[in-house]
């Protein structure tokens, strides 16, 4: 036999905490403040710019080393997978530094200068938002940097490597346009 438990629900409707008037977190539904609505789009733009900048820096570096025949000297002492992994990690850290500066500055400005920026008093930028942003930045950088390093290694010179950037960046641009 089944044991069913009866729940008496309160007949008064509950107010949705995150309604369209609520501007305490970044979202598109806050109709009273345009700046709060723009935070998600701004983060997408920052991710795009930093990933594209870091990955294209890696492409230029690999293509220049190949064109200058420096890569042949490096290949005598290092395994190719170690070299590309080192390049991706090293230039990833180099592109993560300005990213952290921008994100940290933005976080500090939103915490301290909310009144100056005409943000609602109750607005907070959750730490999980920043952690998620950095997580997606690192995943996107790993994907696009490895693609750019591969194109830089395959292209005979920097000019032809630059022509392939459009094809690699097309999925990211389409994702940005659809958001």
Over the stretch 11-20, which tens digit does the pLDDT of each residue have? 555 545 555 5
CA distance linking residue 104 with residue 102, whole number of Å: 6
pLDDT at 136 over 70: yes
Closest CA to 95 of 157, 142, 45, 129: 142
Mean pLDDT of the region 106-115: 71
Q: pLDDT (tens digit, 9 = 90+) per residue, 56-103?
A: 888 888 888 888 888 788 888 888 888 888 988 998 888 888 888 887
Helix 34-67 vs helix 80-112: crossing angle, to nearest 10:
160
At residue 72, the pLDDT reads 80
At residue 68, the pLDDT reads 81
Q: pLDDT (tens digit, 9 = 90+) per residue, 140-176?
A: 999 999 998 888 888 888 888 888 888 888 888 888 7
CA distance linking residue 171 with residue 165, whole number of Å: 11
At residue 122, the pLDDT reads 66
Contact 122, 23 (CB under 8 A): yes
Contacts of 83 (CB under 8 A, 6+ apart): 74, 75
At residue 133, the pLDDT reads 84
At residue 76, the pLDDT reads 84
Write the CA distances from 58 to 31, 55, 163, integer angstroms: 41, 5, 15
Sorted by where each begins, the domain ranges of the chain are 41-178
CA distance linking residue 178 with residue 124, whole number of Å: 27
């Amino acid at each position: 036999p089944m044991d069913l438990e009866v729940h008496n629900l309160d007949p008064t409707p509950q107010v949705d905490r995150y309604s369209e008037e609520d501007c305490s977190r970044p979202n598109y539904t806050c109709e009273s403040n345009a700046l709060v609505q723009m935070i998600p789009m701004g983060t997408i733009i920052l991710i795009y710019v930093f990933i594209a900048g870091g990955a294209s820096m890696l492409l230029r570096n690999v293509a220049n080393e190949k064109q200058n025949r420096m890569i042949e000297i490096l290949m005598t002492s290092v395994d190719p997978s170690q070299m590309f992994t080192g390049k991706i990690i090293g230039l990833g850290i180099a592109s993560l530094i300005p990213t952290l500066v921008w994100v940290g500055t933005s976080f500090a400005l939103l915490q301290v200068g909310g009144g100056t920026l005409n943000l609602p008093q109750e607005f907070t930028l959750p730490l999980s938002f920043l952690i998620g942003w950095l997580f997606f930045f690192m995943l996107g950088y790993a994907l696009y940097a490895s693609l750019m390093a591969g194109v830089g290694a395959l292209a005979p010179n920097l000019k032809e490597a630059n022509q392939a950037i459009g094809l690699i960046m097309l999925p990211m641009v389409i994702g940005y346009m659809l958001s």
